[in-house]
Amino acid sequence: MQTIPKTFFITSTGRSGTAFLAKLLNRSRQYHVVHEWHIPRTRFQDGHLTRFPLFRFVLARRPLGKWRKGYGEVNSYLRKVTSLTAEGPERFIERRAVILRDPRDVIASGMNRQGKTKQDFELLCNMAIQAYARVIQLLNHPTLHYDSFEFDRMTTDLAYLQSLIDWTGITDLQVAADELEHKVNTSPSTWFPRWASWDDSERATYLRIKQQRVGGNGVDLKWTTKPIEAS
């Protein structure tokens, strides 16, 4: 019997290592792995710029009636189109995971890359908190299993990064000692600090938006290894 190749997707918020991870994984000869920007865009009814429906995970594996090598995506936009109410086309994907990155660090990274004003900071707070809440919801999906990986460990611990690669099903890719130096879309950290050095106004803005976005709806912006509210 012919072995059917596997599929996976990994999703997260922006500024969480997705471009770095996709580029790394696509070095495999066993799998074709793409990042979100290499998937043609289309508009859905909600008006958001998303990507073609998840049926592509099936179609990409069997073009013209012949099975091809495995297919995977590292795609932060997928958090917007996956179903939280019933099994949809996601069920055709064998493995699903999210990358967890503290939304405060996402905000700081975004500010260091393109933010200048208080309005930029508030916008990034809204985007990062909303996106991270969606990621946490996926971990609590009612019918489908999602694994999770931590951004901080993925970008500093070579053995941990290798364990993520092994999770995908790729067996022909071993990361080298200098792999963590080849990050994509790195940003300077010369002027906007991490949470510990935020001023009272910045902290108050973050906490206010966090309460507005997730307060009272059962979404807890924490995970066990790094409390979000710790300073």
pTM (2 d.p.): 0.83
Output the tens digit of pLDDT for each of the chain's 231 residues: 445 568 899 999 999 999 999 999 999 988 889 888 777 655 544 444 444 566 677 676 666 666 667 889 998 888 877 776 666 667 778 899 999 999 999 999 999 988 889 999 999 999 999 999 999 889 888 888 899 999 999 999 999 999 999 999 999 999 887 777 666 556 555 688 989 899 999 999 999 999 888 875 545 555 433 434 433
pLDDT at 46: 45
Distance CA 183, CA 132 (A): 22
Distance CA 57, CA 91 (A): 10
Class of 7-214 in CATH:
alpha beta
Give the N- to C-terminal CA distance of the chain in Å, as an integer: 56
